[in-house]
Structure formats: C-alpha cells, structure tokens
Amino acid sequence: MEVEVRLFAMLRERAGSGSVTVDLPEGATVREALAAVGARHGLGELIEAMPVVMAVNREYASRDDALSPGDELALIPPVSGGESSFRTGEGYDQFMELIGNHVPRPPGYAELMGARPLLAEPGHVRMEFEASDLFLNPGGAIQGGFLTVMLDETMGPAAISALGPGHTVPTLELKVSFLRPGRVGRLVADARVVHLGKSVVFLEAALTDDDGNVIATSTATARVVRLKDS
Amino acid sequence: MSTAVAHARVTEEPLSVEALARLVARPAAGAVVTFQGTTRDVDALEYEAYREMAEQRIAMIAGEAIERHGLEAAAAEHRIGTVRLGEASVIVAVSAAHRSEAFAGAREIIDRIKAGAPIWKKEVEGGEGRWAEGTRAGGDDRHA
C-alpha cells in the first residue's frame, strides 16, 4: 500500500517537502513506515539522531501499531516547548546549584514521577510529585513502592545538599510508614538530614497530599561515598 | 460529566489574552487565571504546527483539565508563523469557582501543551534561523 507521511520542522526542511510517499506491505507497522521514510531523502540519519514519534490519525502511535490503507501518518520531531517539568519547579535553580549540577546524570524516572524541586537548602529538600493513575494498585490507592520512590528521591538530594559536590549516597536502610492511602494528584515530600556522620548520613522525610494530610513518613540511612574524579 | 466546553485554536493571528478571559467568564466562576507565554531573548520565533492534530490535542488537554480540576471553562490558543520579541505565542485562560483549581488547571494546561502538542519553534536571530532542541513529543501521556 502507498501511504503519505507528513513531515514537519527540520524533517520537512531536509526532505524539501511537507510530505513523502512510501510503499509498504499491507499491515505494515509504524516501525516499518519509519524505516521506509528514513531510507528516503537522506532522512535516516536525522531520524536516528533524535527521538521522533509517529502520529497515526492524529494520535501518538506506538512503533508496533499496524497501519491500514488511508491512515493519516505524520512524523513528529521532538517538540521544542517540551520543557522537562522538572525545570518548572520553583526551587529548580537552588536544586541544580546544590545537587543537580553535581550528579553524573538526572534519573529518567524523575519525569515519570512528575518530580519538581520546590526548595533546596543545605540538609533540607522539598520535592513535588504528580501521582498518575498508572500508579494505582487494584484497591485504588497509590502503590506503596511509588510513595517510597518519592520519599527516597527527596532524602537522597537532601543528603547530597548537606555534603556538597562530589558525593553519592547509596541507601543502606529505609523504613516507610504508610499512614493513609495515596491518591492521584500532587504529593509533596519534605526531607531533612537528621545527622551527618563521617561515613553514614541519617535522614527523615514525610509525604503530604494537597490538603496537608501526611500520607507516609520515612527514615533512612545512607552511606557517604566520595566520588574520586571530582 | 461536565458541561463545560474547552476552546482550542492554532492561528497565524496575534493572540489576545483579554478575549480569551472573556470566553471563559461564567457566573459561577470566582476565579479566572490567564497565562501568556511570550518570545524572549531572540528577535523572533517562527512556529510551525501539525495544525489539525495540535488543535485536537489542545482541546483534549483543556477538556481533561476541566474534568480533573472541576473547572467552569478552559481555553487555549497557540500562534504559528513569526512571533516577534515580547509577543505572545501561547495563551491559556481558565475559570473555576475558586483560585486553587483555577491555578492548578491553568498550570496543567500550559505544561501539557508544551510537552505534547505537535508544535515546533525556530529561533531567529540576526536573520539566521535555528530549530530549538526539544524533547520527545507526547511524553506526558501519563496524564492521559
């Protein structure tokens, strides 16, 4: 089947056209269509170099989705306003200065958790998270592991903020008390360093919902590791 | 099910946040929050959109914000073509009974439009254009 694929932005410019036509076998997948577009007009390199997605009939499609004749296909390059939500936290600058600029790489799951730094000062970090309905257990409450991630991902930065650049803090022990069921929406974790020793750091954190109810509390102990090449 | 209607538009024309605020005015709304994103630091931005999908996407985002935050109404518009320094490229207006829902709804709408609507921008400085680096489109579908 012949299908027309619409192109935008840098892909459109490279191809010199707003659309290309590709010939695909019946029942071809989005992945095959992408490969076929890549093989034409020198677009392959450009497509491989960036996280493109394909839209089928104006909905974002997975690469395994099968195509039908008459489908409206479009190749969607990365959207330029797609600012990571992490950057929109009101404590972002403080967080980056104290913590973010000193870690080897930001965790990919920060985006999944809808993490945003609200406040960062030495020994004290507050983070906002967005609990998605994908985090619900069969009982309709946020699965405790996700709440634990929120607490842990706030205590870790709190420890780093007290230690300064060039440290990492692998968790040795972590305890969580689940006080109330977590619901979909905004949750705020507040973490503090309780005691900073030479080789271990003691931490505590609380997770609250938008109404100020405490959902979970946690204490943790982490090892203080100095990174060599800093 | 809410009876509130979401308004979405992608247009070459200049945007008016005042007109959008009038569009969401409701007798039951004690709060109206508006947002406008403006071109900064460069001479101009050139926006390009997959227009049909962008409008559909923005309408969906605004509709979901109405449901999620119990808004009275929500509206958003994105400009395409050349948007000069200081001019608005995207505007959002929402109304709700109280300010907390209104702020939360407006915030969610603008964040999701920026992350999920198929719209691209080219920074134009001294006659030279450069596509802004971006992130994978639709990456916020955890909301959907």
Residues 6+ apart with CB under 8 A from A168: A103, A160, A225, A227
Note the pLDDT tens digit of each residue in A151-171. Answer: 999 999 999 999 988 889 999
Which of A79, A142, A186 to mutate: most B Cβ within 10 Å?
A79
Higher pLDDT, B54 or A100: B54
- Are the Cβ atoms of A132 and B119 closer than 8 angstroms? no
Closest by Cα among B67, B53, B50, B58 to B15 = B58
Q: How far is the C-alpha of A93 from the C-alpha of B73, rounded, in Å?
A: 33
- Separation in Å, CA of A194 to nearest CA in chain B: 33
Low-confidence residues of chain B, pLDDT below 50? 1-2, 139-144
Element (H, E) at A221: strand A214-223
Tell the residue number behind the tokens 């007009």, with chain if given: A41
What pLDDT does A80 receive?
65
Interface of B with A in 67-126 (CB under 8 A): 90, 104, 111, 113-122
Q: How far is the C-alpha of A55 from the C-alpha of A6, rounded, in Å?
A: 10
What pLDDT does A84 receive?
61
- Are the Cβ atoms of B48 and A8 closer than 8 angstroms? yes
- Are the Cβ atoms of A83 and B52 closer than 8 angstroms? no
Q: How far is the C-alpha of A78 from the C-alpha of A189, rounded, in Å?
A: 31
Q: How much of chain A, in percent, has pLDDT values that exceed 70?
A: 94
Give me the residue from A51, A55, A83 closest to B114, CB to CB: A83
What pLDDT does A111 receive?
78
Closest by Cα among B139, B19, B108 to A60 = B139
Q: Would residue B40 be called left, alpha or beta, if left means φ above 0 and alpha means ψ between -120 and 50 degrees?
A: beta
- The verdict on A55 touching B (C-beta cutoff 8 Å) is yes
pTM: 0.63
End-to-end C-alpha distance for chain A, whole angstroms: 57
State the DSSP string of chain B.
-----EEEEEESSPP-HHHHHHHH--TT-SEEEEEEEE--SSSEEEEEE-HHHHHHHHHHHHHHHHHHHT-SEEEEEEE-EEEETTSEEEEEEEEESSHHHHHHHHHHHHHHHHHHS-EEEEEEETTEEEEPP-B-TTTTGGG-
Task: Give the chain B residue whose CA is nearest to the CA of A60.
Answer: B138
Q: Name chain A contacts of B120, Cβ cutoff 8 Å.
A: 8-10, 77, 79-80
Q: How far is the C-alpha of A86 from the C-alpha of B134, rounded, in Å?
A: 15
- Are the Cβ atoms of A79 and B56 closer than 8 angstroms? no
Please name the residue ranges forming H helices in chain A: 9-15, 30-38, 44-49, 92-98, 109-112, 144-163
Closest by Cα among A201, A147, A154 to A173 = A201
**pLDDT confidence tier of residue A63, bands split at 50, 70 and 90:** confident
State the DSSP string of A83-147.
--GGGGSTTHHHHHHHTGGGSSS--THHHHTT-EEEEEETTEEEEEEEE-GGGB-TTSSB-HHHH
Task: Give the chain B residue whose CA is nearest to the CA of A74.
Answer: B50
Is A114 a residue whose pLDDT tops 60? yes
The neighbouring-strand residues paired with A94 are none
Note the pLDDT tens digit of each residue in A23-32. Answer: 899 889 998 9
Residues 6+ apart with CB under 8 A from B128: none
Paired tokens of A153: 């991902």
- Separation in Å, CA of B120 to nearest CA in chain A: 5
